[in-house]
């Protein structure tokens, strides 16, 4: 019965969204990738906001229900049957009643590819004018639902296949799986990344440090012979540089110059749980990357932790889910990487044991490894473990709920940057 109701709801939402797009004809910016979708979406919104009336999902609305819901209204959460009745009524009024003068000119939509056919279905609702593919990597998230990793790339590549010739396909030049998709579009091609030859190139990338504490990022963006500096507060890691560069490419596609793009990126606030800097208890600092995890993003997070100053470096790592046959090998590799970076390793979840065993075999002292079955078991020991000056990375797939660890060890005071930093 429940499955039947869900199917009916999907069909109704799809029809309402399609008719809404037909009536209001907004521009559509589509974002897909195995990592970085939400950060990129938020960075694009920061660049475009002010010049265009835009809408983007506040939550993780990127599937058969979430995407049409974003088209229909500015919703942030789903609340039950009365919520859906209200959505349907408001959508019908938006279609049949007086034209809504506040309907957005641009929609920024995330397209998830959890299983084969997902992107095709979402494109049957909304086809973008501008498409961004952030990153895929060698072991993509959700690969367990595909026969091979290459199928994930092909599925995500659908987002640029159906672009109009006047559209823009914006691709990560540093990701081979993404760049290999470039021949699958008729649209204008733009690339971004750290590598030479990127249309939007990131250079001089560094973490800003004040009194021994990381406070944000600074880097330069190059395009067409011009260069501008960019600063992003309260965020760490190259993933935020990629998000900013992809957003800059969108800005260029809409006719912005680099100076304007750089100025707008000052307003970019990375979404919660994506390498945010959070003040921790006992004068510690937390790298909150707890929202999700894949082998690619795990490795990037550990690389970031390696490069930052701290009295002790602690990694709280949990399971990476939905990677199928890669599961054991990916967690073993993660353990070896962690052993070379951290002073203390804490693992949470059944697959976390693989990380811990691999780290110990690689040379990390057993007394510096703690293993927990779940978040509730880990909270108190992790809180007691932390000392002044510690830098704590927290990262796992969303289902492990390591956001609760962040809530347990964060300082309730708001984290402010000192004015004298610059």
Q: What is the pLDDT of residue 287?
A: 93
**Using CA atoms, how far apart are residues 39 and 161, in angstroms rounded to an integer?**
23
Q: Which two tokens stand for residue 406?
A: 């962040």
Q: Which two tokens stand for residue 196?
A: 């030479």
Rounded to the nearest 10°, the torsion over CA 211, 232, 399, 369 is: -20
Within 8 A by CB and 6+ apart from 97, the residues are none
**Using CA atoms, how far apart are residues 368 and 342, in angstroms rounded to an integer?**
9
What are the backbone angles phi and psi of residue 321, rounded to the nearest 5°?
A: -100, 170
Query: Mean pLDDT, 10 residues at a time, over the chain (422 residues)?
Result: 84 96 97 92 94 86 93 87 93 94 95 90 96 87 73 91 95 94 95 95 92 87 94 88 96 95 91 88 93 91 92 95 90 96 96 96 95 95 94 95 94 54 43
Q: What is the pLDDT of residue 271?
A: 84
Q: What is the pLDDT of residue 1?
A: 62
Q: What is the pLDDT of residue 422?
A: 42
Q: If you count them, how many residues does the chain have? A: 422
Indicate if the alpha-carbon torsion angle 202, 237, 67, 91 is positive or negative.
Answer: negative
Q: What is the pLDDT of residue 211?
A: 78
**Using CA atoms, how far apart are residues 243 and 43, in angstroms rounded to an integer?**
6
**Using CA atoms, how far apart are residues 276 and 65, in angstroms rounded to an integer?**
28
What structural domains does the chain harbor?
A: 2-265 (3.40.1190.10), 276-409 (3.90.190.20)
User: Which is nearest to 301 in space by CA: 324, 273, 280?
Assistant: 273
35-44 burial by CB neighbour count: b if 16+ within 10 A, else e?
bbbbbbbbbb
Within 8 A by CB and 6+ apart from 31, the residues are 37, 40, 41, 44, 108, 109, 110, 111, 131, 132, 134
Burial class (CB in 10 A: 0-12, 13-18, 19+), 227: middle
């Amino acid at each position: 019965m429940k499955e039947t109701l869900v199917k009916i709801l999907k069909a109704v939402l799809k029809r309402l969204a399609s008719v809404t797009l037909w009536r209001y004809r907004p521009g559509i910016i589509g974002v897909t990738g195995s990592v970085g979708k939400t950060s990129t979406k938020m960075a694009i919104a920061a660049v475009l906001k002010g010049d265009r009336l835009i809408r983007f999902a506040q939550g993780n609305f990127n599937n058969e229900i979430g995407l049409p819901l974003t088209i229909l209204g500015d919703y942030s959460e789903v609340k039950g049957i009365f919520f859906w009745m209200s959505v349907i009524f408001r959508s019908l009024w938006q279609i049949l009643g007086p034209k809504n003068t506040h309907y957005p000119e641009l929609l920024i939509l995330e397209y998830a590819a959890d299983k084969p056919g997902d992107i095709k279905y979402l494109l049957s609702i909304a086809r973008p004018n501008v498409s961004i593919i952030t990153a895929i990597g060698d072991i993509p998230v959700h690969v367990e639902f595909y026969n091979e990793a290459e199928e994930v790339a092909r599925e995500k590549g659908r987002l640029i296949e159906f672009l109009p010739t006047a559209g823009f396909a914006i691709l990560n030049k540093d990701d081979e799986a993404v760049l290999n998709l470039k021949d699958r579009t008729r649209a204008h091609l733009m690339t971004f990344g750290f590598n030479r030859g990127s249309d939007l190139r990131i250079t001089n990338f560094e973490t800003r440090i004040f009194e021994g504490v990381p406070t944000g990022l600074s880097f330069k963006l190059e395009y067409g012979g011009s260069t501008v500096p960019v600063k992003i507060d309260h965020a760490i890691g190259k993933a935020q540089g990629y998000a900013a560069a992809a957003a800059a490419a969108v800005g260029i596609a809409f006719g912005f110059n680099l100076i304007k793009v750089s100025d707008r990126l000052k307003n970019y606030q990375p979404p919660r749980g994506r390498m945010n800097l959070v003040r921790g208890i006992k004068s510690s600092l937390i790298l909150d990357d707890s929202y999700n995890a894949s082998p690619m993003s795990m490795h990037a997070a550990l690389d970031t932790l390696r490069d930052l100053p701290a009295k002790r470096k602690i990694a709280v790592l949990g399971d990476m889910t939905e990677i199928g046959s890669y599961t054991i090998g990916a967690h073993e590799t993660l353990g070896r990487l962690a052993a070379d970076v951290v002073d203390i390793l804490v693992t949470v979840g059944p697959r976390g044991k693989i990380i811990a065993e691999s780290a110990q075999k690689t040379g990390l002292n057993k007394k510096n490894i703690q293993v927990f079955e779940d978040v509730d078991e880990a909270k108190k020991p992790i809180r007691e473990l932390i000392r002044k000056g510690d830098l704590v990375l927290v990262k796992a797939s969303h289902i492990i709920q390591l956001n609760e660890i962040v809530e347990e060890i964060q300082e309730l005071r708001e984290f402010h940057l000192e004015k004298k930093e610059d």
